[in-house]
Structure 1
Amino acid sequence: MRTLRINKQENEFVIEHVNSFGHGTKRFFITENGLKEGLDAYAPVIGEYELEVSEELWGFVLNYVGSSNFQ
């Protein structure tokens, strides 16, 4: 299964997409709004991913993905 790893590194938000072969790419965001936009890119296929979210961002990501604003 593909994985999205979402965390914060050195004051930047990171979404790491790891494919089924274990290869990953990272996208970095400076603001929470940028992170939301990054998550929106996965909205049509979010069910195909296992989410691994840092404890620090768990509540934020869970609330956003479960909201009507998640596109």
Structure 2
Amino acid sequence: MKKCNQDFVVQRINDFGTKFERRFVTKQGLEECLKDYKTNNVIDDYEIETSDDLWKFVIDTLGKGD
């Protein structure tokens, strides 16, 4: 996860090395994405890497109770 220009970007790379990106215009959109991954129990399928400026936000969002 990173901020690219003004967008928040979630990038996934599959087993074949193909990259998939989801872009969000707002931090709220990124937060909703993270909550959705957590709620649907798919967050454990990911190795999370994030830019320094988003690290605290990501940890706080994923650490929130349902």
TM-score (norm 1): 0.81
Q: Paired residue for 1:28?
A: 23
Q: How does 1:1-71 map to 2 (within 5 A)?
A: 6-43=1-38, 44-69=41-66
Tell me, in whole angstroms, the C-alpha distance in 1 between the residues paired with 2:15 and 2:52. Answer: 24
TM-score (norm 2): 0.86
Tell me, in whole angstroms, the C-alpha distance in 1 between the residues paired with 2:35 and 2:20. Answer: 17
- Which structure ranks higher in relative contact order (CA pairs < 8 Å, sequence separation ≥ 6)? 1
How far did residue 22 of structure 1 move?
Answer: 1.5
Q: Give the length in aligned residue pairs.
A: 64
How far did residue 60 of structure 1 move?
Answer: 0.3
The unaligned stretches of length 5 or more in structure 2 are: none
Q: Percent identity?
A: 39
Contact 2:35–2:61 (8 Å) recurs in 1: no
Q: Quote the RMSD (CA, aligned, Å).
A: 1.2
The unaligned stretches of length 5 or more in structure 1 are: 1-5
Q: When you count strand as a share of all residues, which structure comes out higher?
A: 1
